Chains A and B, each alone.
Chain A
Amino acid sequence: MTDLGIAVLGVGVRGRHAWENLLATHPRATLRAICQHPDSVPQMLEERVGDYARRYALEHGAVFVDSFEELLERDDIHIISLMTEASLTAPYAIATAKAGKHIVCDKPMATRVADAQAMTDAAEEAGVETLVTYSVRFSPAIRHIIDRTLAGHIGAPLTVTFQYCPGNGPLVGYTASNEYRECSLGGELSNFGCYAIDVVSLIAGARVESVFALMGNHFYPDYVEAGMEDVAQVSLRFENGVIGMVLAGRLPGHQNALLNLEVTGESGEMRATDTSDTVLVSGCSGGKVSALTNPTTELAHDFVECILQNQPSPIPFSVGLENLRVLAAAYRSAETGTPVQIQHKHNFYADEKGLA
């Protein structure tokens, strides 16, 4: 098989990550084309306007393509990384799928559950592989816990708690705004909490049926003004009875990240703390895990390998769709002050927010 050609739509959008470069570090993948979407929200681009995208293309040895349609027609492009604002991704993803290209989406994959459903359906119909970049599940200690739990080393999981609060806030050069909130679904629950929800859901091994959330903005004045949360805690109950808890936020100043994953199973418990190379296992043999690879690079390479080997994606759109259902329910819960039940149904077009 020839090497995979990588393209990206959307460069320099605040909060989006350069997955096109990560994908291209695979020995059988090459970054070939850069394209910018004309409807990009100015506040999300900040200073990266004008000929930024053309210069980005030159800098990375790729071709700048004027239009998205032209990008879709190129036979030398096999994977398109959609680094657009989450609120704008859906039509691009659907068009990409129809053009037969594989898709990488940053998180969250959309801001409306109906859009995420449409993206998932389009990809499945077209038979293309998709990836939502929940890379935290590839962090060494986290992955170790996931693997051992799914292998049954502590019995069936009963409770899963993930506190995921990076420090070093506020983000340099970033100002929260209404535009950012609308482009991204919300604040730090959408930004960091989605990773935690992904890990908790993966370990629980079932879909979420009930969500309760408490949110606050305590650390940054611009978050208060934009109505964005800088800390959120979410309580989850899964269809199989597992209880999950997520704490997400961006902590102020130069303090270590608060990162704790705790899994209680029928016959043991595992936990990882912010010393990310150590996993404590109680109830069965313990383990110390050395930091091995960069999780984002490993995820990107895994996805390329899946396409090369005709294997299913490790984190397809269907996972992102479930994650977005939980996020949307959490924001609804925080807004109403009541728990929200998630009724899983296929067609969300009738309900704008995709909630029952």
Chain B
Amino acid sequence: MRSHNGSPRIMGVGVVGAGSPNIATQQHLPAIACIPELALRAIFDPNVDGARQYAQECGAGSCASFEELIAREDIEQVHICSPDPFHAEQTIAALEAGKHVLVQKPMATTMEDARAMVETARRKGKRLTICHNVRWTPIYSAAKSAVSTGRIGEPVYVRFRKWGRHFSYPKNSWYRQDPDGQFVHNGPHYVDLACWLMDDLPVSVFARSMRRYPTDDALNSDNYVSAFYRFARGGQGNVELNQLMLDPPIYPDQSESVVIGTEGRIEIGGPTQSSLQCFVAGQVCYPLAAPGGNDAFVELIRDFTEAIIEDREPAVTPEHALAVTAACLGALESSHSGEVVCLGGGTGSD
């Protein structure tokens, strides 16, 4: 990556929420280290000792406060990896401080906060993206390529299913008490994939949910959600999160998807199939090659960095992430009210 005048450019990065083994320390820090054009400048976490240790391992500094980190002039890009309730406030503060921000999902826990984040980014002229990294995994990139090149015609139906058991959060973890639960915390991944593969956004959602925890290893939220989406161009989708299978406790997390088009379908994942298969009229099926590729986090962060340098939209725009957030929160609302929830919606092309 080079700056506008062609000279090599090193962009300083600050990471918030990297004080213990988590998504920041296990994914963001290693990914940043893989991109030569980025330099990790500082880390902040309320666990000051943990942040200092990770910072030392990365050859970076640690900050005593969040405010100190976003005030540093050698930091241009900030990654917000704190717990969900802090995403909106910290993102807005970092944007107001003149930083470009990459925030973990969910971008916010309320639509009001999510909209404020988008508005702030636009007003400040700063880039904002949300960590929908799963679309960069090779298998989904290959599936998207097949859809985009018209192999199955126009996509009209998508289903994403995630099943297994919930993450073994520590007993005092905020995520055990989170009333919105996993469909809001991790659901943005699934809904983003569905929307991305359909190249469309949902305009309405109807959802059902249930909660069953046979032991005291429980979350304070529903562990089954099935959401039906109607998309703007008339297609349909189903996103299902099924974490009811708790006994026996050892159960590998799995996911699978299917995209049905007007001329064929693509099946991704699943326990009995090869990873990626395409069924097209006139051909029974053939496997699609899922090329090896860089780590999804590396690709996402690289895309965001290039978007900043080239002054273009990142692959995941804040408006797209806003729609995904609405779709997840809307599903939650629908599952509680028993009614259809209207969403903003609009065409994809993200």
Interface residue ranges, A against B (CB under 8 Å):
158-159, 161, 163, 165, 167, 210, 212, 214, 216, 218-219, 231, 233, 235, 237, 241, 243, 245, 247, 249, 251-256, 258, 262, 264, 266-269, 271, 273, 275, 278, 280, 282-283, 337-339
> Which one, A247, A273, A337, contacts B238 given CB within 8 A?
A247
Contact at A216–B228, with CB atoms within 8 Å? no
By the criterion of a CB under 8 Å from any partner CB, how many residues of chain B are at the interface? 47
- Which 10 residue pairs are nearest across A and B when measured between Cβ atoms? A253-B281, A255-B279, A218-B156, A214-B236, A212-B206, A243-B208, A267-B247, A273-B272, A264-B244, A158-B244
Q: What's the minimum C-beta distance from A249 to chain B, rounded to whole angstroms? A: 8
Assuming A214-B230, A258-B260, what are 11 further A-B pairs, CB within 8 angstroms?
A210-B338, A216-B156, A216-B157, A243-B226, A247-B157, A255-B285, A264-B242, A264-B245, A267-B247, A267-B248, A338-B340
Contact at B247–A235, with CB atoms within 8 Å? no
Given contacts A161-B240, A268-B245, contact A251 B270 (CB under 8 A): no
> Which one, B154, B234, B248, B281, contacts A255 given CB within 8 A?
B281
Tell me whether B262 is interfacial, beta carbon within 8 Å.
yes
B212 contacts across to A, CB distance below 8 A:
158, 266
In Å, the complex CA distance between A9 and B230 comes to: 42
Contact at A253–B280, with CB atoms within 8 Å? yes
Tell me whether B170 is interfacial, beta carbon within 8 Å.
no
Contact at B156–A278, with CB atoms within 8 Å? no
B234 contacts across to A, CB distance below 8 A:
216, 218
Contact at B245–A282, with CB atoms within 8 Å? yes
Q: What secondary structure prevails in chain B residues at the interface with A?
A: strand
Given contacts A161-B240, A216-B156, A252-B262, contact A273 B210 (CB under 8 A): no
Tell me whether B8 is interfacial, beta carbon within 8 Å.
no
In Å, the complex CA distance between A247 and B226 comes to: 13
In Å, the complex CA distance between A347 and B273 comes to: 48
Tell me whether B100 is interfacial, beta carbon within 8 Å.
no
25 contacts between A and B (CB under 8 A): A163-B159, A210-B338, A212-B340, A216-B157, A216-B234, A218-B154, A218-B235, A231-B156, A233-B157, A233-B236, A237-B208, A241-B210, A247-B157, A247-B238, A249-B260, A251-B265, A252-B263, A255-B284, A256-B284, A256-B285, A264-B224, A269-B163, A273-B270, A283-B245, A337-B204
Residue of B nearest to A242 (CB): B210
In Å, the complex CA distance between A337 and B265 comes to: 26
Tell me whether B264 is interfacial, beta carbon within 8 Å.
yes
In Å, the complex CA distance between A255 and B273 comes to: 15
Q: What's the minimum C-beta distance from A264 to chain B, rounded to whole angstroms? A: 5
Interface residue ranges, B against A (CB under 8 Å):
154, 156-157, 159, 161, 163, 204, 206, 208, 210, 212, 214, 224, 226, 228, 230, 234-236, 238, 240, 242, 244-245, 247-248, 251, 258, 260, 262-265, 270-273, 279-285, 338-340
Contact at A245–B240, with CB atoms within 8 Å? yes
In Å, the complex CA distance between A210 and B338 comes to: 9
A212 contacts across to B, CB distance below 8 A:
206, 228, 340
A249 contacts across to B, CB distance below 8 A:
157, 260
B284 contacts across to A, CB distance below 8 A:
254-256
Contact at B281–A219, with CB atoms within 8 Å? no
Contact at B283–A254, with CB atoms within 8 Å? yes
In Å, the complex CA distance between A254 and B286 comes to: 13
Contact at B230–A253, with CB atoms within 8 Å? no
Q: What's the minimum C-beta distance from A274 to chain B, rounded to whole angstroms? A: 9
Q: What's the minimum C-beta distance from B93 to chain A, rounded to whole angstroms? A: 41
Q: What's the minimum C-beta distance from B61 to chain A, rounded to whole angstroms? A: 48
> Which one, B214, B264, B265, contacts A266 given CB within 8 A?
B214
Q: What's the minimum C-beta distance from A343 to chain B, rounded to whole angstroms? A: 15
B283 contacts across to A, CB distance below 8 A:
254
B244 contacts across to A, CB distance below 8 A:
158-159, 264
Residue of B nearest to A264 (CB): B244
B240 contacts across to A, CB distance below 8 A:
161, 245
In Å, the complex CA distance between A237 and B209 comes to: 10
Q: What's the minimum C-beta distance from A327 to chain B, rounded to whole angstroms? A: 17
Q: What's the minimum C-beta distance from B220 to chain A, rounded to whole angstroms? A: 19
Contact at A254–B245, with CB atoms within 8 Å? no
In Å, the complex CA distance between A280 and B230 comes to: 31
B226 contacts across to A, CB distance below 8 A:
159, 235, 243, 245
Contact at A339–B340, with CB atoms within 8 Å? yes
Contact at A253–B273, with CB atoms within 8 Å? no
In Å, the complex CA distance between A243 and B280 comes to: 32
Given contacts A214-B228, A218-B234, contact A253 B282 (CB under 8 A): yes
In Å, the complex CA distance between A245 and B242 comes to: 13
A233 contacts across to B, CB distance below 8 A:
157, 228, 236, 238
> Which one, B156, B265, B339, contacts A338 given CB within 8 A?
B339
In Å, the complex CA distance between A210 and B279 comes to: 34
